[in-house]
């Protein structure tokens, strides 16, 4: 399994574009010892949980005149 993790870590930069690639190149050299660390870094940076829809949120929504 360790070999696959190392392969993921090696191939990961080639899958990135835009802000993700910029974030990757800003990482200091040798700061990511294994795949789980890389995964956590990008999860912390780019994952945003979906906002839960509640009745209070729905009540605040209204149609604008031009919609």
pLDDT at 2 over 60: no
pLDDT at 1 over 80: no
The rounded mean pLDDT for the chain is 88
Predicted structure pTM score: 0.61
DSSP 12-48: GGGG--HHHHHHHHTSPTT---SHHHHHHHHHHHH--
Question: Distance between CA atoms of 7 and 66, rounded to whole angstroms?
Answer: 52
User: What was the pLDDT predicted at 64?
Assistant: 85
Banded model confidence at residue 41, pLDDT cuts 50, 70, 90 = very high
User: What was the pLDDT predicted at 27?
Assistant: 93
Domain ranges of the chain: 2-49
């Amino acid at each position: 399994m360790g070999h696959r993790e190392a392969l993921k870590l090696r191939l990961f930069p080639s899958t990135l574009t835009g802000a993700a690639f910029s974030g990757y190149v800003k990482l200091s050299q040798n700061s990511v010892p294994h795949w789980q660390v890389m995964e956590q870094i990008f999860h912390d940076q780019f994952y945003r949980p979906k906002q839960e829809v509640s009745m209070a949120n729905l009540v605040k929504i209204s149609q604008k005149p031009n919609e």
